[in-house]
Amino acid sequence: MAVLRTLASMLSLFDSEADSRDLEANRRKAVKLTAQFPTLIAAFHRYRKGEEPIAPDLKLSHAENFLYMMHGKKPEAEMAKALDAYLILLADHGLNASTFAARVTVATESDMYSGITSAIGTLKGDLHGSANQRAMEMILEINTPDRAVAYVEDLLAHKKKVMGFGHRIYKKQDPRATAFRAIAERMCEKAGDKHWMEISNRVEKVMWDRKQIPCNVDFFSASVLYLLGFPVDFFTTVFAASRISGWTAHVIEQLSDNRLIRPSAVYTGPKDQHYVPMSRR
């Protein structure tokens, strides 16, 4: 995410329209950024492995190209369909933290690249976009289904968050999680490996039994990204590759009827304090 945040900011240096707030210029930037994100992510993945990046193939779809540039071979139709579903389901979600950050940034009449850079920095947090990475790390650490219940109970006993569970808005069910459960099930069946599903199902059940907290979009989608061959520390960048379409749409909407976003704060600290000179403190 640090690399993606830096590269997204750097892209503005290669765009002669970077500072333009004109609608058409911003539409062009939105399309370019949506195309560039998977290319940047896949290129970095390959550089990190000491391999040359692969140029996108114009005959492939957006999702097919992403997998092709990551893994160096054209993906099976079902794999591309799963990633396509991921890119659609994560594309936008109202005023979530990263989208809000993008809107706050451009509402000062700053540029789209600055807004997107703020959004990536905000998505990076564990309570937002990185929950998919943390959820998969947990599933991998649990390792066998019979360890799942004790593992979760231990986290809860120590008042720790179970990643991929809970949501500010969805208190009973996150509809995207339902879709990803089905996709993950199909992929596990196809791979002939039910291991990850069994662990995930047990984690989900114990979270519901003990806390009545449902899983969110990041829980089962983590297994989907894993089965698609994305390295675990790349999961949040794939989220960003989807959400870039929502972020840029929100930036355009914000600028179409802009007003500075400036919340006020209510002071709740001590009042009527008297000044004490430094020498008497």
Ligand X SMILES: CC(C)(COP(=O)(O)OP(=O)(O)OC[C@H]1O[C@@H](n2cnc3c(N)ncnc32)[C@H](O)[C@@H]1OP(=O)(O)O)[C@@H](O)C(=O)NCCC(=O)NCCS
Concerning whether 71 is annotated as a catalytic residue, the answer is no
In whole angstroms, give the CA distance from residue 273 to residue 137. 49
Q: Is residue 187 within 8 Å of 80, Cβ to Cβ?
A: no
Q: 229: left (phi > 0), else alpha (psi -120 to 50), else beta?
A: left
The active-site residue out of 71, 93, 167, 195 is 167
Concerning whether 128 is annotated as a catalytic residue, the answer is no
Amino acid at residue number 115:
G
Establish if 64 lies at the interface with ligand X (CB under 6 A): no
Q: Is residue 8 within 8 Å of 117, Cβ to Cβ?
A: yes
Site for ligand X in 124-143 (CB under 6 A): 127, 131
**Residue 40 vs 89, nearer CB to ligand X:** 89
Site for ligand X in 215-234 (CB under 6 A): 216-218
Please report how close the Cβ of residue 183 comes to ligand X at its closest, in angstroms.
17
Reduced DSSP (H G I as helix, E B as strand, rest coil) percent helix, strand, coil of the chain, to 5: 65, 0, 35
Please report how close the Cβ of residue 152 comes to ligand X at its closest, in angstroms.
9
**Residue 163 vs 227, nearer CB to ligand X:** 163
Establish if 152 lies at the interface with ligand X (CB under 6 A): no
Number of residues that bind ligand X (CB under 6 A): 15
> Residue 68: in which H helix or E strand, if any?
helix 62-71
Catalytic residues: 167, 218
**Binding positions for ligand X, rule: CB under 6 A:** 127, 131, 161-168, 211, 213, 216-218
